[in-house]
Amino acid sequence: SAGFAVYGAGEAGQTKLTLRGTSPLAMEERAAEIEAAFPGAQTTLHDTHAVIAVPDQEVEALIKWLEREAPETEIVGRGNRMEVFKEVGLPEKVAERFGLAGMRGTHAIGHTRMATESAVTTDGAHPYSTGKDQCLVHNGSLSNHNNLRRSLRREGLKFETENDTEVAAGYLTWRMREGLSLGDALKVSLDDLDGFYTFVVGTENGFGVLRDGIACKPAVMAETDQYVAFGSEYRVLANLPGIETARVWEPEPATVYFWER
């Protein structure tokens, strides 16, 4: 299971919904139906996914239309700038299917999942998004995600899978909805989330990194005047421009790192 989120160009007053269908043909047909029902919609097709941009005031109407007319079509991302793509397959093949090389943006987050507790499916692929322009990828396992899921559902959050990472994404969305910054939400998560984990969280303006207090999951970062990069292993950073003079370090346990453009 592999996926990525790209924070590209956004237009004021518009929201982009990334939809996932059962096949490229099904997604093409669904996009045509949406354009007929919502004449102001702008559609971009990417294999089994489509990015639908609509005026902000039409977002809730489109969501209700999808629930009524196309319940098999999943909303995997929502935001002014964020687009989310995920499928089953080798990461380079998934990237080719969706045309990642031709996309542009300020930052992006990618993930390859090693399934240990559930099947290899697209539903199990990261990133997970439960908030506007917000997504999360996760290396590790949460032991209290079932209790948290029940609690967050009572707070009005919806979950599409049984994956623990989706619960972590929902938890951060809830904390930020309650008024915390992303950095503070990550800090309090250290008390509320049981297990071992490394999180990378994307927002409209940047991204954050957090490892749990034990920090048994590998992580490495690189920073220059031009970019900040994260990976589970150094080899994914080795070919970046200027890496030989970059500051490279392993994130400390229970420490929040955050960058904004």
What percent of the chain stands above pLDDT 70? 97
pLDDT at 89 over 70: yes
pLDDT at 119 over 80: no
- pTM for the model: 0.90
- 127-260 is a CATH 3.30.450.40 domain: no
Residue 121 pLDDT level (bands cut at 50, 70, 90)? low
**Mean pLDDT for the stretch of residues 203-230:** 93
- By the 10 Å C-beta count (0-12 exposed, 13-18 middle, 19+ buried), 39 is classed as exposed
Which residues in the chain are classed under CATH 3.30.70? 1-109
pLDDT value for 182 = 84
Which residues in the chain are classed under CATH 3.60.20.10? 127-260
- Class at the top of the CATH hierarchy for domain 1-109: alpha beta
Q: What is the pLDDT of residues 59-74, one digit of tens each?
A: 999 999 999 999 999 9
Alpha-carbon distance values, 174 to 45, 51, 55, 77, 256 (Å)? 31, 25, 25, 16, 18
**Mean pLDDT for the stretch of residues 51-55:** 97
Range of 124-128, 158-162, 207-211 with top mean pLDDT: 207-211
Residue 129, sorted as left (phi over 0), alpha (psi -120 to 50) or beta, turns out to be beta
Query: Which residue(s) pair with 137 in the sheet?
Result: 200
pLDDT at 46 over 90: yes
48's tokens: 């089994």
pLDDT at 150 over 80: yes
Calpha distance 128→123 (Å, rounded): 10
Alpha-carbon dihedral sign for residues 210, 213, 219, 221: positive
pLDDT averaged over the chain? 92
What percent of the chain stands above pLDDT 90? 77
